[in-house]
């Protein structure tokens, strides 16, 4: 605009764009998260009208195609790795450009995600995905992998990833469920903000209430073979679950939080705890919030076998958080294993390390859920796509 006037656009649209791109002088394109999908919409600048263009699966990066009314986007799903597609801005028609992984869908089975929804804390609506193992038979029973996302201002989306890929757990024989609890994005700002000063409150209640409903409505999930896994905030929630539930046979804590107070003094992101716990831990009132939601205060209740994973270069939640978790478990005689990566950060990114991560995680949850050795300490084999792999 020539006069450089600032105007608000789509002020009543309760979503948070992750990427913006001008289509023309009058139209803004926005990628945004909503109900487990990374969608694409066009926004009319004059009226503020938001019109969805792509509503299924997940849009990644986007680039305008010169001399056309089209976009080149990266596009994926939980059962489809990322490829490039061309999208019409006018009508949303989509055309595939690349097929980088033709083996998927033919020689490799990928489980199609099913949307699920449950009632959470205070009547909230909890949305997520369920994936079934290969050769699924509803007359049989299966163990559960209950995956808890980090953030916590994040969400599980119908998108491909090399980290925490839900199809990996399904391929290993687990019914896999991933839910968006309070704090998650894509359901409006009020839902995202509902986790503030509620870290072990509403999200935990929603996860456990949803688990009960899941088990009641899906009889092929074996109630005696439940596991839960989480990273970052999900790791925090694993520690919280260990003190407040006996539903699970095994837990996996990746880069989780042991103490809210020690985390404050060591993290690289001070804004985060000061916002979540409404102040600093050396303020008397805010200190009560930190201590109320600190897993460390409840370690005497921990009883569930736990695989603890942490990396040396994690500055968001430093490695001492993982070491403290492992120490608290083992000094109380709780079965535990510590997996340490000296060359990774908050994420495990290197291919060889990722392979080790998956072998350890799948081996651990299989070890504690095998029908013939439930609760046993003997190392077990797991199966992925019909191939036997040792942990």
Q: What are the Cα distances from residue 350, in Å, to 87, 92, 308, 327, 355?
A: 33, 36, 19, 27, 9
Structure tokens at 211: 């688990």
Q: Which helix (H) or strand (E) holds 253?
A: strand 250-254
Long-range contacts (CB closer than 8 Å, 24 or more residues apart) made by 38-44: 38/157, 38/158, 38/159, 40/71, 40/73, 40/87, 42/89, 43/9, 43/10, 43/13
Which two tokens mark 178? 């991933």
Question: Do residues 351 and 322 touch, judged by C-beta distance below 8 A?
Answer: no
DSSP conformation letters of 64-85: EPTTSSEEEEEEEETTEEEEEE
For residue 295, what are its two tokens? Answer: 């897993």
Residue 274 near residue 289 (C-beta atoms within 8 A): no
> Rounded to whole angstroms, how far apart are CA atoms 295 and 309?
17
Backbone φ and ψ of 53, nearest 5°: -110, -50
E-assigned strands of 50-166? 50-54, 58-64, 70-77, 80-88, 94-96, 114-119, 125-131, 142-148
Residue 128 tokens read as 């997520």
348-355 contact pairs (CB < 8 A, 24+): 348/163, 348/309, 348/311, 349/163, 354/162, 354/163
Which residues belong to the active site?
232, 314, 346
């Amino acid at each position: 605009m020539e006069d450089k006037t600032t105007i608000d656009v789509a002020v009543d649209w309760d979503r948070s764009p992750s990427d913006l791109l001008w289509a023309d002088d009058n139209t803004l394109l926005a990628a945004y998260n909503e109900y487990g999908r990374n969608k694409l919409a066009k926004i009319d600048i004059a009226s503020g009208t938001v019109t969805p263009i792509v509503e299924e699966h997940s849009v990644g990066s986007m680039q305008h195609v010169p001399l056309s009314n089209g976009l080149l986007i990266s596009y994926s799903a939980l059962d489809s790795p990322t490829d490039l597609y061309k999208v019409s801005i006018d009508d949303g028609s989509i055309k595939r450009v690349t097929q980088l992984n033709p083996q998927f869908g033919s020689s490799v089975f990928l489980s199609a995600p099913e949307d699920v929804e449950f009632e959470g804390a205070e009547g909230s609506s909890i949305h997520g995905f369920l994936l079934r193992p290969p050769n699924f038979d509803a007359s049989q029973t299966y163990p559960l992998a209950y995956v808890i996302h980090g953030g916590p201002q994040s969400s599980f989306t119908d998108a491909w990833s090399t980290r925490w890929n839900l199809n990996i757990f399904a391929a290993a024989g687990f019914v896999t469920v991933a839910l968006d609890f309070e704090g998650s994005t894509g359901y409006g700002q009020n839902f995202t903000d509902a986790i503030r000063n509620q870290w072990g409150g509403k999200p935990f209640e929603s996860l456990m209430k949803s688990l009960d409903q899941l088990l009641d409505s899906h009889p092929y999930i074996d109630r005696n073979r439940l596991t839960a896994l989480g990273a970052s905030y999900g790791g925090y929630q694993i520690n919280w679950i260990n003190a407040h539930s006996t539903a699970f046979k095994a837990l996996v804590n990746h880069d989780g939080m042991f103490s809210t107070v020690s985390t404050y003094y060591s993290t690289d992101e001070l804004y985060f705890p000061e916002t979540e716990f409404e102040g600093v831990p050396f303020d008397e009132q805010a200190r009560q919030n930190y201590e109320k939601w600190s897993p460390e205060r409840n370690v005497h209740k921990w009883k569930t076998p736990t695989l603890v994973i942490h990396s040396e270069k994690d500055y968001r939640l430093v490695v001492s958080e993982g070491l403290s978790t492992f120490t608290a478990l083992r000094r109380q005689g709780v079965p535990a294993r510590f997996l340490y990566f000296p060359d990774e950060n908050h994420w495990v990114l290197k291919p060889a390390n990722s392979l080790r991560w998956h072998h350890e995680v799948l081996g651990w949850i299989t070890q504690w859920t095998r029908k013939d050795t439930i609760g046993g300490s003997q190392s077990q084999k797991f199966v992925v796509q019909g191939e036997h792999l040792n942990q």
